[in-house]
Amino acid sequence: MEEIKSLPRCYSFSFNLETMTLFFKIQRWIVPAIKNFIEFEALLMEYMYKKHGGDKSTFINFGEKEKPFGYNNSMTWDKETETEIIYSYTFGPVNVPTEEICEKCEGTKLGFSDHPCHNCHGTGKKHIPSSQHFSEALLSLYPILKFANCALQENCYENNNKTYSPQTNEVQTIALEYSDTTGICNCSMFGWIDDRVAEWLKNITPEQEKIITRAMQKTEEILLSKKMQESYFTFNWFNDDYFYLQAPGNACTLGTSSQSMGMFGNVGRTLEPHNIDHRFQQTSFLVALAVMNDMYEEYLRNNN
């Protein structure tokens, strides 16, 4: 049996560091199947609505021209090409200031040991949740990625009776899947990179590593409205074969594994989690993978 070395592209991510915008690019060939999945996979969708609110209209516009979809219409239609539909989400603060005085510091702007008040970020003003929370975007992508990854798994093996017929010559380069839950030991994710991406990563420069970690850092700074220590975000190598990304937390990492069976069997390299406990960490790693994908695709354009 011929060994499968790559997977047909279902989706990809891109990230604009200047505008703090995440782009989700879904291949047209998989859209009808995902729409069908959302409509008829009642148990999964009802489970999501029960836990996170929403109803059937939450996802009904997925794949519809110029229409947003997801929780609070968080995923915005950006544009389309011959092969894909592109959605976007721009990150903003989780909490926004009001004109009221902060109840915690009573307007003094100071917290413990004269550090800036944690509740109001040293502004002295009461903060309230923003109207569009970044977790809504991640929840909106959750069932889309879940289905797309199932389609990718089917293509890991030689099978003449496949459900999906990928109409693309492009290759899946980076993939991920995360939980819809939050909390300690209850909020995780897995990543995946194509073998060619893994080989390319061995030669990226310190400057490129810096761009990846800076994107993670700036994302958390925007979300939390405060400065984050640069050293909290790292890109580390064990050796030429194994690397991991690290975000703030208790040894919170996402990195390559030596296990033979991964997210898509023996195809590509799976990135395994350690102590990913909340959405901020998930988002940092998602952004890192998106930036990594941008760099790899730029490398392909310049060398083909």
Q: What are the structure tokens assigned to 235, written together?
A: 């890109």
pLDDT digits (tens, 9 = 90+) for 188-215: 899 999 999 999 999 999 999 999 999 9
pLDDT at 106: 83
Assess whether pLDDT exceeds 70 at residue 272.
Answer: yes
Going through the chain in order, the beta strands assigned E by DSSP cover 11-16, 21-27, 76-80, 84-90, 95-101, 125-129, 174-178, 189-193, 234-237, 243-247, 252-256, 269-274
pLDDT digits (tens, 9 = 90+) for 122-162: 888 888 888 888 999 999 999 999 999 999 988 887 765 67
**Cα Rg for the chain, rounded, in angstroms?**
20
Confidence of residue 40 (pLDDT cuts 50, 70, 90): confident
Assess whether pLDDT exceeds 70 at residue 268.
Answer: yes
Tell me the whole-structure pTM to 2 decimals: 0.91
Distance between CA 194 and CA 199 in Å, rounded? 9
Confidence of residue 246 (pLDDT cuts 50, 70, 90): very high
Assess whether pLDDT exceeds 90 at residue 174.
Answer: yes
